[in-house]
Structure 1
């Protein structure tokens, strides 16, 4: 057979763009060093640990290389911002931290009397189509941008 010396499955695996392997240690302290706004009791420890563990399982060093720690932080900050939205009441002082992490639209108009500002979120929604909840926070948008730079989608080779 003409392909007897070729590892076809190895070629298919390499072309799939799937990265596997272990990650270095990355803990809650590493995250809070970069994102202190989520510390000090803002987010319960059990929630922080859960999202750090989820990031460890989802974000692979073999894909993101030197940007891995940045991507870990953005991923965790995104999901914690969404968590805080559901955990904080309307009058909670935490609302400022939440608002700082939410997606910002492009300002389309403003007025001075009775203060009114309008934003366009359409262009953001188009740019991040298919990325679900990641378009809802500025952390998620940054993560998607990094993921696009480092992840040219998988391929099927037959």
Structure 2
């Protein structure tokens, strides 16, 4: 039997479990509607998270998340993906006028706070609590948004595939 190039490509695409195609529209405004807490402004009316940062994460989400893979979960996955990365952005944000050490500290990874003291200021963090079920998912396990995203990603990627 002779197969055409289109037949072979169709077989390979189906077997690969890769989904291609264009995504529906999803904009910064779509994100802000679902997650208004990220649309804060300061006293001067400037957005706390610069528009260029939000726009960048929306574009990256479009590139990383295929509607054909997520289907009905796609819009939720887009929002959780963007919210996760903006949360990490906010954790690392610092005022440009701050001391260098404070700017550096804002960019350091943070674990789950396990204890704190008032006298001589002592805070303990546990990083091991954020692993386990989400091993292999990088930073997504560090935020509630990322953990929800992982759960949805697992749902849409479940199932086997067979290559002949």
Do the structures match in fold with TM over 0.5?
A: yes
State the Cα distance separating 1:151 from its structure 2 match.
1.1
Quick check: 121-130 or 76-85, which moved more? 121-130
Taking the aligned partners of 1:14 and 1:104, their CA distance within structure 2 comes to 42
Which of 53, 56, 60 in structure 1 is aligned with 2:66?
Answer: 60
State the Cα distance separating 1:74 from its structure 2 match.
0.1
1:82 aligned partner: 88
Q: Does 1:150 align with 2:130?
A: no
Structure 1 gaps, min length 5: 90-101
CA offset digits 1:71-94 (Å, max 9, x no partner): 0000000000001111046xxxxx
Moved over 4 A (4+): 102-105, 118-124, 153-156
Structure 2 gaps, min length 5: 41-46, 96-109
Cα pair distance change 1:146/1:103, threshold 3 Å:
farther
Cα pair distance change 1:154/1:46, threshold 3 Å:
farther
State the Cα distance separating 1:137 from its structure 2 match.
0.6
1:94 aligned partner: none
**RCO comparison, higher one (Cα < 8 Å, 6+):** 1
The size of the alignment, in residue pairs, is 140
1:70 aligned partner: 76
Q: Is the 8 A contact 1:75 1:143 kept in 2?
A: yes
2:99 aligned partner: none
What is the SS of the residue equivalent to 2:70?
helix
Cα pair distance change 1:33/1:150, threshold 3 Å:
same
TM-score by length of 1: 0.73
1:93 aligned partner: none
RMSD of the alignment, in Å? 3.2
